């Protein structure tokens, strides 16, 4: 169920907010009992259905706050698109080493949406991913409280890396408003090493990550359109053939788009949700379990 369907289900238009300031974001969060947080909304059909009163689009919450070229650090608001950030960094011969062959990240993908999803990309094994690049963030919790985690220092060992909890949490714990990211010299970015590269088409798609030992068997069984041996990741048109201990994310499969089965992990995720968003206001159900 997405935008129009959500509205239909409730028999009225969803309220849409496009905050450009922290005050506007706080007002939006405090005005509703259940909200969906949105970047550009590209995740669309991948999303697990959530029942909400309003949508908070972070698109207007954009812009580069600071680029420290010498220290290879950029501070950016989360409605900024990856494309806009890469263009600005390129002027100083820097970038985020996000694999350019990654299927369908969408040119308008926002940094907030990408970090909240933390999906694989085609240079991940060689250059790391969002969990490596995000060294600090600012978030707003559902009750309007703001928090700053991490810092501009790349090696930050004081206390928990709380920002890591928000990476991949699909907007269920808080709204990420600002990111502090490591940047890389463009000349240092390695080549992608893909074993398959074809267009995926518009039909059902799954991303499958296997154990390295099962990667070649998975390629033979699933027939991926794009495959990266370095990170054992396959992008498959249709349904992949499952491998032991693999991880699969599907488009357009509703609650089956992400399945987490480990009861201990589910209990920990529920405790994090209870702490950060005790009223269950943000993206209710979007992780499938919390």
The minimum distance between CB 169 and ligand FAD, in angstroms, equals 7
DSSP type of residue 44 = G
Encoded one letter per residue, x for contact with ligand FAD by CB under 6 A and - for no contact, window 203-222 reads --x-x---------------
Q: Which of 170, 173, 137, 146 is closest to 281 using CA atoms?
A: 173
Asked if residue 175 binds ligand FAD (CB under 6 A), the reply is yes
Residue closer to ligand FAD, measured from CB, 92 or 144: 144
Residues binding ligand FAD: number (CB under 6 A)? 34
Stretch of residues binding ligand FAD (CB under 6 A), selected from 12-20, 111-119, 152-160, 259-267:
111-119
Residue closer to ligand FAD, measured from CB, 64 or 92: 64
Q: How far apart are the C-alpha atoms of 238 and 245, rounded to whole Å?
A: 20
**Which residues within the stretch 27-86 sit at the binding site for ligand FAD (CB under 6 A)?**
37-43, 46, 58, 78
Asked if residue 103 binds ligand FAD (CB under 6 A), the reply is yes
Report the C-alpha dihedral over residues 186, 130, 150, 148, rounded to 10 degrees.
110
Helices (H), the chain: 3-10, 22-30, 82-90, 111-117, 124-127, 130-133, 163-166, 215-222, 263-276
The minimum distance between CB 8 and ligand FAD, in angstroms, equals 20
Asked if residue 150 binds ligand FAD (CB under 6 A), the reply is no
Q: How far apart are the C-alpha atoms of 198 and 235, rounded to whole Å?
A: 10
Residue closer to ligand FAD, measured from CB, 73 or 236: 236
Exposed e or buried b for every residue in 197-235, given b needs 16+ CB within 10 A?
eeebeeeebbbbbbeeebbeebbebbebbbbbbbbbbbb
- Which residues sit at the interface with ligand FAD, rule CB under 6 A? 37-43, 46, 58, 78, 102-106, 109-110, 112-114, 116-117, 119-121, 170-171, 175-176, 205, 207, 251, 283, 286
């Amino acid at each position: 169920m997405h935008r129009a369907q959500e509205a239909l289900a409730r028999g009225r238009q969803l309220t849409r907010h496009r905050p450009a300031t922290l005050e506007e974001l706080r007002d939006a969060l405090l005005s509703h009992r259940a909200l969906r947080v949105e970047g550009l909304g590209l995740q669309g059909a991948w999303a697990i259905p959530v029942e909400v009163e309003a949508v908070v689009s972070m698109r207007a919450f954009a812009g580069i706050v600071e680029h420290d070229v010498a220290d290879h650090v950029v501070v950016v608001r989360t409605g900024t698109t990856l494309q806009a950030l890469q263009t600005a960094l390129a002027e100083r011969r820097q970038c985020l080493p996000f694999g350019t062959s990654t299927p369908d990240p969408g040119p308008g993908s926002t940094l907030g949406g990408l970090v909240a999803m933390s999906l694989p990309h085609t240079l991940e094994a060689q250059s790391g991913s969002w969990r490596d690049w995000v060294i600090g963030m600012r978030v707003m919790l559902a009750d309007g409280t703001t928090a700053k985690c991490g810092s501009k220092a790349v090696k930050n060992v004081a206390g928990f890396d709380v920002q890591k909890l928000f990476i991949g949490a699909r907007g269920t714990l808080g709204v990420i408003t600002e990111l502090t990211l490591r940047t890389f010299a463009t000349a240092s970015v390695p080549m992608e090493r893909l074993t398959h590269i074809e267009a995926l088409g518009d039909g059902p798609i799954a991303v499958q990550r296997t154990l390295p030992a099962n990667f070649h068997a998975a390629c033979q069984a699933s027939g991926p359109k794009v495959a990266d041996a370095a990170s054992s990741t396959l992008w498959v048109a249709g349904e992949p053939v499952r491998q032991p201990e693999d991880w699969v994310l599907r488009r357009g499969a509703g609650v089956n788009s992400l399945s987490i089965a480990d009861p201990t992990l589910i209990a920990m995720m529920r405790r994090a949700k209870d702490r950060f968003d005790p009223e269950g206001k943000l993206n209710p159900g979007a992780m499938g379990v919390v």
